[in-house]
Amino acid sequence: MKARKKTGYAWAGIGIIAAAGALAVMLPGGSPAPQASPAELQRSAAAVEAYMNGKDGSSQYGHVLRSWTEAKLAAPERPAGISLKRVGGGQVYGSAESEGYGGDVIYAAPKDKVAYEAEVPEEGLYEIWLDDFILARSALNPELSVEVNGEKPYNEMNEIKLPVDWKVREGDKKVDRYGDELVPGSEIDSAWRSEGLRDPNFFFAEPLKFHLKKGRNAVEITINEGHLLIGKAELKNTATAVQPYQDYRASKPGAPSGEVQSVTIEAEDMARKSRPSIRAKYVRDAAVTPYSYKNRVLNVLDGYSFGESGDKVSYRFEAKESGFYRLTFKYSQDTNNGMPSHRKIELDGNVPFRELSSYSFPYSSGWKNETLQDEHGTPYEIYLEKGMHSLTLSNDNSSVRDIYHELLETAEMMDAASQQVNRLTGGLVDRERKWNLEKYIPEISAYLLGIAAKIEEQKRALAEQTGKEDLPALSQLEVAAQMVREFVDDPNELPHYMGKFVGDQTSAYGRIKSVLPMLVYSPLHLDKIYVGSGGELPKPEAGIVKSSVENVKSFFYSFANPRYGSAGAVDGQTVQVWVNQSRLYVELMQRMIDEEFTPATGIKVNLSILPDENKLVLSNAAGSTPDAAMGVSFGKPFELAIRGIIEDLRPYDGFYKLAEEYNPGAFIPFIYDKGVYAFPETQDVKLLFYRKDLMKFLGEEPPQTWEDVASLVPMLQKYDMNFYTPLGSNNSFKGFDTTTPFLYQFGGRLYDDTGSKTAINASGAYEGFEFMTDLFTVYNVPITTSEFYQSFRNGKTPVGIGDANTYIQLKYAAPELAGQWAVLPIPGVRNEQGVVERWDPTYGSSSIIFKSSEKKESAWKFIQWWASADTQSAFSYNIKSTLGEKFLYMTANLKGFADSAWPSDSKEAILEQWKWIQTTGKVPGDYVLEREISNAWNAVVFNKQNPRTALDNAVKTINREFDRKLQEFGYVKDGKLIKPYRVPTIDNVGNWVKDDGK
Question: Which residues lie across from 341 on neighbouring strands?
Answer: 361
pLDDT at 69 over 50: yes
Give pTM, 2 decimals. Answer: 0.85
CATH of 73-236, one of 2.60.120.260, 4.10.320.10, 3.40.50.720, 2.70.70.10: 2.60.120.260
pLDDT score of 435: 84
**DSSP string across 810-855:** HHHH-GGGTTSEEEEPPPBEE-TTS-EE--B----EEEEEBTT-S-
Rounded to whole angstroms, the Cα distance separating 58 from 304 reads 32
> What are the pLDDT digits (tens) for 72-128?
998 888 767 899 999 999 999 999 999 999 999 999 999 999 999 999 999 999 999
**Sign for the pseudo-dihedral over CA of 553, 555, 557, 561:** positive
pLDDT band at 815 (very low <50, low <70, confident <90, very high): confident
List, in sequence order, the alpha helices (H) in 721-787. Answer: 736-745, 765-777
Rounded to whole angstroms, the Cα distance separating 640 from 618 reads 11
Which parts of 274-432 are beta strand (E)? 280-281, 300-301, 312-319, 323-333, 341-347, 359-361, 364-371, 382-384, 387-394
Of 13-27, 146-160, 598-612, the one with minimum mean pLDDT is 13-27
Of 269-273, 568-572, 922-926, 944-948, the one with minimum mean pLDDT is 568-572
pLDDT score of 528: 95
pLDDT at 558 over 70: yes
Domain borders along the chain are 73-236, 245-397+522-546, 424-515, 573-603+625-682+845-902, 686-842+918-993
The whole-number average pLDDT for the span 282-309 is 91
pLDDT score of 428: 66
pLDDT score of 50: 45
Q: Are 822 and 224 in contact (CB under 8 A)?
A: no
Rounded to whole angstroms, the Cα distance separating 726 from 783 reads 10
Rounded to whole angstroms, the Cα distance separating 868 from 657 reads 10
pLDDT band at 294 (very low <50, low <70, confident <90, very high): confident
pLDDT score of 120: 94
pLDDT score of 564: 64
> What are the pLDDT digits (tens) for 107-117?
999 999 999 99
DSSP annotation of 175 reads B
pLDDT at 175 over 70: yes
> What are the pLDDT digits (tens) for 365-380?
899 999 999 999 999 9
Q: What architecture does CATH give domain 245-397+522-546? A: Sandwich (2.60)
Residues 6+ apart with CB under 8 A from 551: none
> What are the pLDDT digits (tens) for 335-356?
888 889 999 999 999 999 999 9
314: phi then psi, degrees, rounded to nearest 5: -130, 145
> What are the pLDDT digits (tens) for 448-460?
998 999 999 999 9
pLDDT band at 551 (very low <50, low <70, confident <90, very high): confident
Rounded to whole angstroms, the Cα distance separating 498 from 507 reads 9
> What are the pLDDT digits (tens) for 34-56?
444 444 444 444 444 444 444 44
Of 225-239, 657-671, 880-894, where does the model show the most confidence?
Answer: 657-671
Of 31-45, 116-130, 245-259, 286-300, the one with minimum mean pLDDT is 31-45
Question: Maximum distance among all alpha carbons in the chain?
Answer: 105
Residue 151: strand, helix, or coil: strand
For the chain, give the mean pLDDT. 88
Q: Write the burial class of residue 632 (CB in 10 Å: 0-12 exposed, 13-18 middle, 19+ buried).
A: buried
Rounded to whole angstroms, the Cα distance separating 920 from 648 reads 19
862: phi then psi, degrees, rounded to nearest 5: -65, -45
Of 140-154, 626-640, 967-981, the one with minimum mean pLDDT is 967-981
pLDDT score of 998: 56
Q: Which of 200, 196, 190, 230 has the alpha carbon at shortest distance from 210?
A: 196
Q: Which of 977, 845, 989 has the alpha carbon at shortest distance from 917?
A: 989
Q: Are 997 and 988 in contact (CB under 8 A)?
A: no
The rounded Cα 504 to chain-centroid distance in angstroms is 20
Q: Are 18 and 81 in contact (CB under 8 A)?
A: no
Alpha-carbon Rg of the chain, whole angstroms? 31
221: phi then psi, degrees, rounded to nearest 5: -110, 120
List, in sequence order, the alpha helices (H) in 842-921. Answer: 856-866, 869-883, 894-898, 904-913
471: phi then psi, degrees, rounded to nearest 5: -75, 145
pLDDT score of 192: 95
pLDDT score of 647: 96
Q: Do domains 73-236 and 245-397+522-546 have the same CATH topology?
A: yes
Reported for 987-995, long-range contacts at CB under 8 A and 24+ positions apart, including other chains, are: 989/664, 989/665, 989/667, 989/668, 989/671, 990/664, 992/650, 992/667, 992/671, 992/674, 992/675, 992/676, 993/656, 993/659, 993/664, 993/667, 993/676, 994/656, 994/659, 994/664, 995/656, 995/657
pLDDT score of 504: 78
Residue 115: strand, helix, or coil: strand
CATH of 573-603+625-682+845-902, one of 3.40.190.10, 3.40.50.300, 3.30.70.100, 3.40.190.100: 3.40.190.10
Rounded to whole angstroms, the Cα distance separating 729 from 530 reads 53
CATH of 686-842+918-993, one of 3.40.190.10, 3.40.50.1450, 3.40.50.280, 3.40.50.720: 3.40.190.10
648: phi then psi, degrees, rounded to nearest 5: -75, 125
Rounded to whole angstroms, the Cα distance separating 141 from 903 reads 9
Residue 368: strand, helix, or coil: strand
Q: Which of 191, 270, 219 has the alpha carbon at shortest distance from 89?
A: 219
Residue 766: strand, helix, or coil: helix
Distance from the first to the final alpha carbon of the chain: 63
- For residue 517, cis peptide bond before it (omega within 30 degrees of 0): no
Q: Are 605 and 861 in contact (CB under 8 A)?
A: no
**DSSP string across 619-662:** HHHHT---SEEEEEETTHHHHHHTTT-B---TTSTTHHHHHTTB
pLDDT score of 567: 44
pLDDT score of 214: 94
Q: Write the burial class of residue 777 (CB in 10 Å: 0-12 exposed, 13-18 middle, 19+ buried).
A: middle
Q: Are 394 and 346 in contact (CB under 8 A)?
A: yes
Q: Are 307 and 395 in contact (CB under 8 A)?
A: yes
Q: Are 308 and 883 in contact (CB under 8 A)?
A: no
Which parts of 321-473 are beta strand (E)? 323-333, 341-347, 359-361, 364-371, 382-384, 387-394
Q: How many residues does the chain have?
A: 998
Question: Which residues lie across from 383 on neighbouring strands?
Answer: 324
Residues 6+ apart with CB under 8 A from 988: none
pLDDT at 565 over 80: no
Which parts of 334-436 are beta strand (E)? 341-347, 359-361, 364-371, 382-384, 387-394
pLDDT score of 184: 86
